[in-house]
Structure 1
Amino acid sequence: MRHPAILEAFVKLGSFIRDFCENHNRDDSSLDDNFIRTITLAEQQNGWFTRNNILYALEQWSALLTKENLEQWLSKYSIDDNVTPKTIGIVMAGNIPLVGFHDFICVLLTGNKVLAKLSSNDKILLPFLVDFLVKQELKFKEKISFVEGKFKDFDAIIATGSNNTSRYFEYYFSKGPNIIRKNRNSVAILTGNESKGQLVALGEDIFRYFGLGCRNVSKIFVPKGYNFNVLFDALFSYKHVIDHHKYANNYDYNKAVYLMSDFKILDNGFLLLKEDKSLSSPIAALFYTYYDSEKTLREELNNQKEALQCIVSDGSKETDISFGDTQKPTLDEYADGVDTMEFLINL
């Protein structure tokens, strides 16, 4: 890279976040007061962004932002330092904390400029991290800007939204290079031979961020005769989710709808299991489908790959995600399987 100071600034950011996350429970005056206030404000601004989930997201990024990880990731690409920087518009989602941060670092580490439109649901955390980066390296000041209204004067766009908003994005941004992401869902394939530890880890894939992320498991495939009591027993340690009022409201609403519609559901007091062909389940519900042959199931899922983000299993297939790891993507795990770095390098 022509500007190794930019890479070093991200390494310092990772260290700063790591130190905060490791010490946030201590009565330590050395902790950054602004960081504490920022997390509190983000929590107040979005009721889904609990302190626990914000800290979890920050911890994942602190683990990724090391010199070794960043250099190993970047070594796979040929980044031409002599190319004139381009302005990349990023329309960020707001379903989970800092969900657009990967696009953000991709743009900057390819030598380009960020023009970011923050989601109204997640507009507190990123500006704070940007302030830290600018203090480490002044070049960031001219490389990062935020937009409130319509985008203008950009060379390419990366936009993440729902299937509905993606149609607007495709119309509005179709004339230039773009990555436009739609709804995706994640599923798990169970064989009935999983250990309790694996099923407990699956709970992390289901309940982290209250199931609002595209990497959250919203559907499970189980063999006929599957014993759901084993699954419910393993998931019992996540019962605290019902203490969150927004989650509880969704649980009560969806339960009422299912019961009034005479749908057969399994209910453990904080999660509703419903047999359903859809990949996308509402908050506080998990859909399931029985399968006869895993080979046939895999073929069916391959036909639906455009709608899938992750497949979770016991590791029988190399491309699957292990139980408990859906919210721990590596730097080279790209949303929708589109290599953002290659897209930016080839503009």
Structure 2
Amino acid sequence: MTLEDRIEAFVRLGERFESFFQNDFSELAIQVENNNPWFTPENTKSAIQALRANLTKEKLEKWIEPYDLQNIKNPKSIGILMAGNIPAVGFDDLLCVLMAGHQACVKLSSSDQVLMRWIIDQIIAIEPRFDKFISIEEMLKSKTAYIATGSDNSARYFDYYFGKYPHIIRKNRTSVGILDGSEKNEDFRRLAEDVFQYFGLGCRNVSKIYIKDKGQLIGFLDAIADFKHIANHYKYFNNYEYNKSIYLVNKDDHLDNGFLLLKESDLMVSPIAVLFYEIYDERAGLDRLLSENKEKIQCIVSNHGWYPGTIDFGNAQCPSLGDYADGVDTLSFLSGLD
């Protein structure tokens, strides 16, 4: 397959995603949710739409332009251990491996079996030659290289088993928001999208905010009242009730609006239904806090991206093809294996 063939196949996949919403989405969405109750039809649709947005000829060609992918003479077998925290989170690694001309040997997460199998089936239906380049396996032994995504704990096991091979091993990361006190209600609502989308389970979800003073918290809670429907999901609400009870029993100071708990903490990763906050005084102090935790931060949001290197509220879950997880250039890694 030529590089142009591979690009065309994924452009057609994007088109199939688009037409799919008009036909058979409901049936698949029910199957996906039965496999994982966190993957509601709304979240599955959001995830597929995010993939669709990047699968255009223009975006794909611009993405691969810096890399030499034309002549992959010896395709390598790449083991991909996929995460399953949000729908189709492993798709980007699959796309990178196939676009680089290698063989994708995939171990699916038990949490994302249905949707990823469906996507793989669509890829092969569109371009049957990919059948020889994609395999779903339970044991990923003796591959040329590995891409593994998991927790800090599982990363230690990944390193033990795969450390002697070329590899990308990803650990826990989260995302944070920065408030400077100028935010209005509309801004808070856009920030809430970054907090609540996918129930906060993604590494690009905001789990902590840095604020100038506690007064901002009341304005934030008042502004996001329209998100109360998230508590209708039983798993989310169970987490909310559990964390609330822990804080009450321990007499921990916190704010509560009935579906989200705000708690001051210097930790980065908050539990489900909890948003941590930390107060900063001066810009230099904020810079220091972010620098100290840079290995735990996936992305940073601020209102209209006022803080350097950040993205606007509401866009955390809209990464471009070049926004690689953990900041490691996956396509560069793969193209360098040949």
- Counterpart of 1:20 in structure 2 is 20
Deviations 1:14-46 (A, max 9, x none): 01111223x3xxxxxxx24xx543221111110
> TM-score normalized by structure 2?
0.97
> 2:177 touches 2:208 (CA, 8 Å); kept in 1?
yes
- In the alignment, is residue 239 of structure 1 matched against residue 228 of structure 2? yes
State the shift of 1:80 in Å: 4.3
- Counterpart of 2:56 in structure 1 is 66
- Over 4 Å off, 4+ runs: none
CA RMSD of aligned residues (A): 1.3
- Counterpart of 2:328 in structure 1 is 338
- In the alignment, is residue 177 of structure 1 matched against residue 166 of structure 2? yes
List aligned pairs for 1:97-246, cutoff 5 A.
Answer: 97-148=87-138, 150-246=139-235
Equivalenced residues, count: 336
State the shift of 1:51 in Å: 0.4
> 2:176 touches 2:206 (CA, 8 Å); kept in 1?
yes
- Counterpart of 1:27 in structure 2 is none
Aligned residue for 1:121, secondary structure, equals helix
For 1:137 and 1:208, the matched residues in 2 are separated by 32
Residue identity opposite 1:154 in structure 2: K
Residue identity opposite 1:7 in structure 2: I
For 1:264 and 1:214, the matched residues in 2 are separated by 26
State the shift of 1:294 in Å: 2.2
Aligned residue for 1:123, secondary structure, equals helix
> 1:18 touches 1:63 (CA, 8 Å); kept in 2?
no
Q: What is the identity percentage for the equivalent residue pairs of Structure 1 and Structure 2?
A: 48
- In the alignment, is residue 288 of structure 1 matched against residue 277 of structure 2? yes
For 2:153 and 2:142, the matched residues in 1 are separated by 25
Aligned residue for 1:124, secondary structure, equals helix
Deviations 1:249-285 (A, max 9, x none): 0000000000000001100000000111101110011
Any unmatched runs of 5+ in structure 1? 24-30
Deviations 1:84-123 (A, max 9, x none): 1001000000000000100000000000010000000001
For 1:114 and 1:208, the matched residues in 2 are separated by 29
- Counterpart of 2:84 in structure 1 is 94
Distance 1:213 1:82, change over 3 A: closer
State the shift of 1:83 in Å: 2.4
- Counterpart of 2:317 in structure 1 is 327
- In the alignment, is residue 42 of structure 1 matched against residue 27 of structure 2? no
- In the alignment, is residue 57 of structure 1 matched against residue 63 of structure 2? no
For 1:107 and 1:318, the matched residues in 2 are separated by 31
- Counterpart of 2:266 in structure 1 is 277
For 1:152 and 1:82, the matched residues in 2 are separated by 23
- Counterpart of 1:11 in structure 2 is 11
Residue identity opposite 2:41 in structure 1: R
State the shift of 1:300 in Å: 2.2
For 2:173 and 2:37, the matched residues in 1 are separated by 23
> 2:3 touches 2:69 (CA, 8 Å); kept in 1?
no
For 1:141 and 1:90, the matched residues in 2 are separated by 16
> 1:89 touches 1:154 (CA, 8 Å); kept in 2?
yes
Residue identity opposite 2:112 in structure 1: D
State the shift of 1:153 in Å: 3.2
Aligned residue for 1:115, secondary structure, equals strand
- Counterpart of 1:265 in structure 2 is 254
Distance 1:165 1:82, change over 3 A: closer
- In the alignment, is residue 297 of structure 1 matched against residue 286 of structure 2? yes
Aligned residue for 1:116, secondary structure, equals strand
> 2:93 touches 2:330 (CA, 8 Å); kept in 1?
yes
For 1:275 and 1:300, the matched residues in 2 are separated by 14
Any unmatched runs of 5+ in structure 2? none
- Counterpart of 2:2 in structure 1 is 2
Aligned residue for 1:56, secondary structure, equals helix
Residue identity opposite 1:17 in structure 2: F
For 1:345 and 1:16, the matched residues in 2 are separated by 28
> 1:192 touches 1:227 (CA, 8 Å); kept in 2?
yes
Deviations 1:45-78 (A, max 9, x none): 1010000000000011111111111111111212
